[in-house]
Amino acid sequence: MNVTILGTGSGGNATVVECDGDRVLVDAGFPARTLAQRLRATGIAPESISALILTHAHGDHASGARVAARRFGWTVYATHGTIEAMPDLAVVKPVPITSRETLMLDTMLVSSIRIPHDCTEPVAISIESRSTGVRCGIAYDLGYAAVTVERAFAHVDALVLESNHDEDMLRHGPYPHSVQQRIRGGRGHLSNRGAARLARGIAHRGLRHLVLAHLSLQNNTEAAAHDTVAGSLRKSAFRGTVTIAGQDRATTFTVERARRAEQMDLF
Ligand SMILES: [Zn+2]
Ligand SMILES: [Zn+2]
Protein backbone atom coordinates (compact mmCIF):
# COMPACT_ATOMS: atom_id res chain seq x y z
CA MET A 1 0.00 0.00 0.00
CA ASN A 2 1.34 3.40 -0.99
CA VAL A 3 0.10 6.54 0.74
CA THR A 4 0.68 10.04 -0.65
CA ILE A 5 -0.43 13.03 1.37
CA LEU A 6 -0.73 15.87 -1.17
CA GLY A 7 -0.92 18.49 1.57
CA THR A 8 -2.54 18.87 4.97
CA GLY A 9 -3.72 21.72 7.19
CA SER A 10 -6.47 24.32 7.31
CA GLY A 11 -5.46 25.32 3.75
CA GLY A 12 -6.54 21.94 2.35
CA ASN A 13 -6.27 18.18 2.81
CA ALA A 14 -6.05 15.34 0.27
CA THR A 15 -4.42 11.91 0.52
CA VAL A 16 -4.05 9.20 -2.12
CA VAL A 17 -4.07 5.55 -1.02
CA GLU A 18 -2.98 3.00 -3.60
CA CYS A 19 -3.26 -0.79 -3.44
CA ASP A 20 -2.45 -3.16 -6.30
CA GLY A 21 -2.76 -0.42 -8.91
CA ASP A 22 -6.09 0.89 -7.64
CA ARG A 23 -6.19 4.41 -6.21
CA VAL A 24 -8.60 6.27 -3.95
CA LEU A 25 -8.42 9.81 -2.67
CA VAL A 26 -9.38 10.64 0.92
CA ASP A 27 -10.66 14.24 0.95
CA ALA A 28 -10.43 16.87 -1.77
CA GLY A 29 -9.81 20.08 0.15
CA PHE A 30 -8.09 21.97 -2.68
CA PRO A 31 -9.61 23.52 -5.79
CA ALA A 32 -9.84 20.93 -8.61
CA ARG A 33 -7.04 22.61 -10.57
CA THR A 34 -4.70 22.62 -7.54
CA LEU A 35 -5.58 19.00 -6.79
CA ALA A 36 -4.71 18.00 -10.35
CA GLN A 37 -1.41 19.92 -10.17
CA ARG A 38 -0.47 18.32 -6.86
CA LEU A 39 -1.41 14.85 -8.13
CA ARG A 40 0.59 15.25 -11.34
CA ALA A 41 3.58 16.60 -9.38
CA THR A 42 3.72 13.26 -7.53
CA GLY A 43 3.35 11.27 -10.77
CA ILE A 44 -0.33 10.42 -10.32
CA ALA A 45 -2.77 11.07 -13.17
CA PRO A 46 -6.04 12.43 -11.71
CA GLU A 47 -7.98 10.13 -14.05
CA SER A 48 -6.24 7.09 -12.50
CA ILE A 49 -8.14 7.64 -9.23
CA SER A 50 -11.35 5.63 -9.00
CA ALA A 51 -12.99 6.96 -5.86
CA LEU A 52 -13.08 9.95 -3.53
CA ILE A 53 -13.94 9.34 0.12
CA LEU A 54 -14.86 12.42 2.15
CA THR A 55 -14.30 12.65 5.92
CA HIS A 56 -16.58 15.69 6.38
CA ALA A 57 -18.03 18.72 4.63
CA HIS A 58 -15.65 21.47 5.78
CA GLY A 59 -14.01 23.33 2.91
CA ASP A 60 -10.46 22.29 3.78
CA HIS A 61 -11.55 18.67 3.16
CA ALA A 62 -14.22 18.90 0.49
CA SER A 63 -14.03 22.20 -1.43
CA GLY A 64 -12.73 20.58 -4.64
CA ALA A 65 -14.92 17.47 -4.45
CA ARG A 66 -17.73 18.32 -6.85
CA VAL A 67 -15.67 19.84 -9.66
CA ALA A 68 -12.80 17.32 -9.48
CA ALA A 69 -15.09 14.28 -9.21
CA ARG A 70 -17.01 15.46 -12.25
CA ARG A 71 -13.91 16.33 -14.24
CA PHE A 72 -11.98 13.13 -13.50
CA GLY A 73 -14.82 10.63 -13.15
CA TRP A 74 -14.39 9.78 -9.45
CA THR A 75 -17.14 7.97 -7.54
CA VAL A 76 -17.77 9.98 -4.36
CA TYR A 77 -18.43 8.25 -1.04
CA ALA A 78 -19.52 10.21 2.03
CA THR A 79 -21.73 9.90 5.10
CA HIS A 80 -25.39 10.95 4.92
CA GLY A 81 -24.52 13.98 7.07
CA THR A 82 -21.77 15.10 4.69
CA ILE A 83 -23.99 14.59 1.64
CA GLU A 84 -26.80 16.61 3.27
CA ALA A 85 -24.37 19.40 4.16
CA MET A 86 -23.19 19.58 0.52
CA PRO A 87 -26.27 19.79 -1.73
CA ASP A 88 -24.01 20.76 -4.66
CA LEU A 89 -22.58 17.22 -4.61
CA ALA A 90 -25.88 15.85 -5.96
CA VAL A 91 -24.65 16.27 -9.55
CA VAL A 92 -22.00 13.58 -8.98
CA LYS A 93 -24.49 11.24 -7.27
CA PRO A 94 -22.53 10.59 -4.04
CA VAL A 95 -22.82 7.13 -2.53
CA PRO A 96 -23.65 7.11 1.20
CA ILE A 97 -21.42 5.23 3.64
CA THR A 98 -22.13 4.43 7.28
CA SER A 99 -19.89 3.47 10.17
CA ARG A 100 -21.86 0.22 10.49
CA GLU A 101 -20.86 -1.14 7.09
CA THR A 102 -17.51 -1.72 5.43
CA LEU A 103 -17.24 -0.39 1.90
CA MET A 104 -15.81 -3.12 -0.34
CA LEU A 105 -13.82 -1.77 -3.28
CA ASP A 106 -11.87 -3.94 -5.75
CA THR A 107 -8.59 -3.90 -3.83
CA MET A 108 -9.47 -2.17 -0.55
CA LEU A 109 -11.88 -2.35 2.37
CA VAL A 110 -12.88 1.08 3.67
CA SER A 111 -14.33 1.64 7.13
CA SER A 112 -15.51 4.91 8.64
CA ILE A 113 -15.45 5.79 12.33
CA ARG A 114 -17.57 8.58 13.82
CA ILE A 115 -15.44 11.32 15.36
CA PRO A 116 -16.18 14.36 17.56
CA HIS A 117 -15.99 17.53 15.40
CA ASP A 118 -18.24 20.53 14.70
CA CYS A 119 -19.74 19.27 11.44
CA THR A 120 -22.56 16.88 10.51
CA GLU A 121 -21.47 13.24 10.74
CA PRO A 122 -17.69 13.61 10.40
CA VAL A 123 -15.64 10.42 10.22
CA ALA A 124 -12.12 9.05 10.38
CA ILE A 125 -11.23 6.49 7.70
CA SER A 126 -9.51 3.12 7.85
CA ILE A 127 -8.36 1.46 4.63
CA GLU A 128 -7.26 -2.17 4.43
CA SER A 129 -5.55 -3.82 1.47
CA ARG A 130 -7.53 -6.89 0.44
CA SER A 131 -4.37 -8.64 -0.83
CA THR A 132 -1.93 -7.98 2.03
CA GLY A 133 -4.19 -7.10 4.96
CA VAL A 134 -2.17 -3.95 5.81
CA ARG A 135 -4.22 -1.10 7.21
CA CYS A 136 -3.85 2.65 7.26
CA GLY A 137 -5.93 4.91 9.50
CA ILE A 138 -6.57 8.57 8.69
CA ALA A 139 -7.98 10.85 11.39
CA TYR A 140 -8.21 14.60 10.85
CA ASP A 141 -10.19 17.20 12.78
CA LEU A 142 -10.75 15.44 16.09
CA GLY A 143 -12.19 17.33 19.06
CA TYR A 144 -10.52 14.97 21.52
CA ALA A 145 -8.71 11.62 21.71
CA ALA A 146 -11.90 9.54 21.49
CA VAL A 147 -11.71 5.97 22.75
CA THR A 148 -13.81 4.84 19.76
CA VAL A 149 -11.03 6.01 17.42
CA GLU A 150 -8.39 4.34 19.61
CA ARG A 151 -10.27 1.04 19.43
CA ALA A 152 -10.97 1.27 15.68
CA PHE A 153 -7.29 1.95 14.95
CA ALA A 154 -5.88 -0.55 17.45
CA HIS A 155 -4.14 -2.69 14.81
CA VAL A 156 -3.33 -0.27 12.01
CA ASP A 157 0.10 -0.50 10.34
CA ALA A 158 0.13 3.22 9.55
CA LEU A 159 -1.68 6.17 11.04
CA VAL A 160 -2.15 9.71 9.74
CA LEU A 161 -3.25 11.69 12.79
CA GLU A 162 -4.13 15.32 13.40
CA SER A 163 -1.71 17.14 15.70
CA ASN A 164 -3.23 20.59 15.31
CA HIS A 165 -1.87 22.91 17.93
CA ASP A 166 0.42 23.42 20.86
CA GLU A 167 -1.84 24.38 23.76
CA ASP A 168 0.42 27.20 24.99
CA MET A 169 0.94 28.62 21.51
CA LEU A 170 -2.82 28.64 20.96
CA ARG A 171 -3.38 30.43 24.29
CA HIS A 172 -0.77 33.11 23.54
CA GLY A 173 -1.33 33.20 19.77
CA PRO A 174 -3.15 35.65 17.47
CA TYR A 175 -6.60 34.03 17.47
CA PRO A 176 -9.49 35.76 19.29
CA HIS A 177 -10.75 34.04 22.42
CA SER A 178 -13.92 32.67 20.73
CA VAL A 179 -11.89 30.99 17.96
CA GLN A 180 -9.47 29.57 20.53
CA GLN A 181 -12.45 28.13 22.41
CA ARG A 182 -13.76 26.48 19.25
CA ILE A 183 -10.39 24.93 18.39
CA ARG A 184 -9.72 23.52 21.84
CA GLY A 185 -13.36 22.49 22.43
CA GLY A 186 -14.56 18.88 22.38
CA ARG A 187 -15.75 19.28 18.78
CA GLY A 188 -12.73 21.26 17.58
CA HIS A 189 -9.18 20.12 16.84
CA LEU A 190 -6.70 17.75 18.46
CA SER A 191 -3.74 19.33 20.28
CA ASN A 192 -0.24 17.87 20.22
CA ARG A 193 -0.91 16.48 23.69
CA GLY A 194 -4.22 15.01 22.52
CA ALA A 195 -2.44 13.41 19.56
CA ALA A 196 0.21 12.05 21.93
CA ARG A 197 -2.48 10.52 24.16
CA LEU A 198 -4.27 8.89 21.23
CA ALA A 199 -1.01 7.70 19.64
CA ARG A 200 0.07 6.16 22.96
CA GLY A 201 -3.25 4.30 23.15
CA ILE A 202 -2.81 2.95 19.63
CA ALA A 203 0.96 2.37 19.63
CA HIS A 204 2.08 -1.22 19.13
CA ARG A 205 5.06 -2.91 17.51
CA GLY A 206 3.29 -3.39 14.20
CA LEU A 207 2.60 0.34 13.82
CA ARG A 208 5.32 1.42 11.39
CA HIS A 209 4.32 4.90 10.33
CA LEU A 210 2.86 7.62 12.48
CA VAL A 211 2.37 10.75 10.37
CA LEU A 212 1.28 13.92 12.14
CA ALA A 213 -1.04 16.04 10.04
CA HIS A 214 -3.25 19.15 9.96
CA LEU A 215 -0.70 21.22 11.93
CA SER A 216 -1.76 24.83 12.52
CA LEU A 217 0.62 27.32 10.89
CA GLN A 218 -0.11 29.92 13.62
CA ASN A 219 -0.36 27.78 16.74
CA ASN A 220 2.12 24.98 16.24
CA THR A 221 5.58 24.13 14.98
CA GLU A 222 6.74 20.90 13.42
CA ALA A 223 9.31 20.51 16.21
CA ALA A 224 6.68 21.00 18.96
CA ALA A 225 4.32 18.43 17.41
CA HIS A 226 7.10 15.92 16.79
CA ASP A 227 8.71 16.27 20.22
CA THR A 228 5.42 16.05 22.13
CA VAL A 229 4.18 12.95 20.31
CA ALA A 230 7.50 11.13 19.80
CA GLY A 231 8.50 11.91 23.40
CA SER A 232 5.33 10.35 24.77
CA LEU A 233 5.94 7.18 22.74
CA ARG A 234 9.47 6.68 24.00
CA LYS A 235 8.48 4.15 26.65
CA SER A 236 5.82 2.43 24.55
CA ALA A 237 6.04 -0.63 22.28
CA PHE A 238 6.13 1.67 19.24
CA ARG A 239 9.11 0.95 16.94
CA GLY A 240 8.08 2.94 13.89
CA THR A 241 8.83 6.43 12.65
CA VAL A 242 7.11 9.70 13.48
CA THR A 243 7.02 12.12 10.55
CA ILE A 244 5.29 15.41 9.91
CA ALA A 245 3.17 16.11 6.85
CA GLY A 246 3.03 19.74 5.73
CA GLN A 247 0.59 22.03 4.00
CA ASP A 248 2.65 22.65 0.90
CA ARG A 249 4.65 19.51 0.32
CA ALA A 250 3.80 15.92 -0.50
CA THR A 251 4.55 13.16 2.00
CA THR A 252 4.76 9.63 0.64
CA PHE A 253 5.26 6.33 2.42
CA THR A 254 4.81 2.62 1.75
CA VAL A 255 2.99 0.41 4.23
CA GLU A 256 4.19 -3.16 4.38
CA ARG A 257 3.05 -6.01 6.49
CA ALA A 258 4.89 -6.25 9.81
CA ARG A 259 6.81 -9.48 10.33
CA ARG A 260 4.81 -12.21 11.95
CA ALA A 261 6.79 -12.19 15.20
CA GLU A 262 5.99 -8.51 15.59
CA GLN A 263 2.36 -9.04 14.72
CA MET A 264 2.16 -11.56 17.54
CA ASP A 265 3.13 -8.80 19.94
CA LEU A 266 -0.14 -7.11 19.21
CA PHE A 267 -2.06 -9.60 21.24
ZN1 LIG B 1 -13.23 20.26 9.95
ZN1 LIG C 1 -9.74 20.35 8.68
Pairing mode, strands 135-139 and 95-97 = unpaired
CATH fold of 2-256: Metallo-beta-lactamase; Chain A (3.60.15)
Q: Could you give the percent of the chain with pLDDT greater than 90? A: 94
φ/ψ of 257, rounded to 5, equals -70, 135
On the question of pLDDT at 184 being above 70, the answer is: yes
pLDDT band at 267 (very low <50, low <70, confident <90, very high): very low
Q: State the pLDDT at residue 235.
A: 87
Mean pLDDT over 196-215 rounds to 95
In whole angstroms, give the CA distance from residue 255 to residue 237. 18
Q: Which ligand ends up closest to the CA of 117?
A: 1
C-alpha dihedral sign at 24, 25, 26, 27: negative
In whole angstroms, give the CA distance from residue 60 to residue 63. 6
Ligand 2 mean position to 112 CA, how many Å?
A: 16
pLDDT band at 259 (very low <50, low <70, confident <90, very high): low
On the question of pLDDT at 262 being above 70, the answer is: no
Ligand 1 mean position to 188 CA, how many Å?
A: 8
Q: Which ligand ends up closest to the CA of 85?
A: 1
| Helix/strand/coil for 4 | strand
Q: Which ligand ends up closest to the CA of 143?
A: 1
- Kindly state the helix (H) or strand (E) to which residue 42 belongs, with its residue range: none
In whole angstroms, give the CA distance from residue 187 to residue 182. 7
Task: Enumerate the β-bridge partners of residue 242.
Answer: 210
End-to-end CA gap in the chain: 23
Ligand 1 mean position to 89 CA, how many Å?
A: 18
Q: Which ligand ends up closest to the CA of 122?
A: 1
Residue type, 210: L
On the question of pLDDT at 210 being above 70, the answer is: yes
Ligand 2 mean position to 10 CA, how many Å?
A: 5
Q: Could you give the percent of the chain with pLDDT greater than 70? A: 96
Ligand 1 mean position to 235 CA, how many Å?
A: 32
Ligand 2 mean position to 263 CA, how many Å?
A: 32
pLDDT band at 257 (very low <50, low <70, confident <90, very high): confident
Q: What is the pLDDT of residues 73-103, one digit of tens each?
A: 999 999 999 999 999 999 999 999 999 899 9
CB-based contact 190:164 (threshold 8 Å): yes
Higher pLDDT, 159 or 265: 159
Q: How far is CA 121 from CA 42, 114, 260, in A?
A: 31, 7, 37
In whole angstroms, give the CA distance from residue 43 to residue 126. 24
Residue type, 16: V
Query: What's 92's DSSP letter?
Result: G
φ/ψ of 209, rounded to 5, equals -125, 120
Residue type, 69: A
Ligand 1 mean position to 239 CA, how many Å?
A: 30
Mean pLDDT over 193-207 rounds to 95
Ligand 2 mean position to 201 CA, how many Å?
A: 23
Q: State the pLDDT at residue 261.
A: 45
pLDDT band at 12 (very low <50, low <70, confident <90, very high): very high
Mean pLDDT over 219-246 rounds to 96
| Helix/strand/coil for 27 | coil
CB-based contact 76:92 (threshold 8 Å): yes
Q: What is the pLDDT of residues 146-169, one digit of tens each?
A: 999 999 999 999 999 999 999 999
Ligand 2 mean position to 204 CA, how many Å?
A: 27
Ligand 1 mean position to 117 CA, how many Å?
A: 7
φ/ψ of 59, rounded to 5, equals -55, -35
Residue 100's CB is within 10 A of a number of other CB atoms, namely 7
Ligand 2 mean position to 260 CA, how many Å?
A: 36
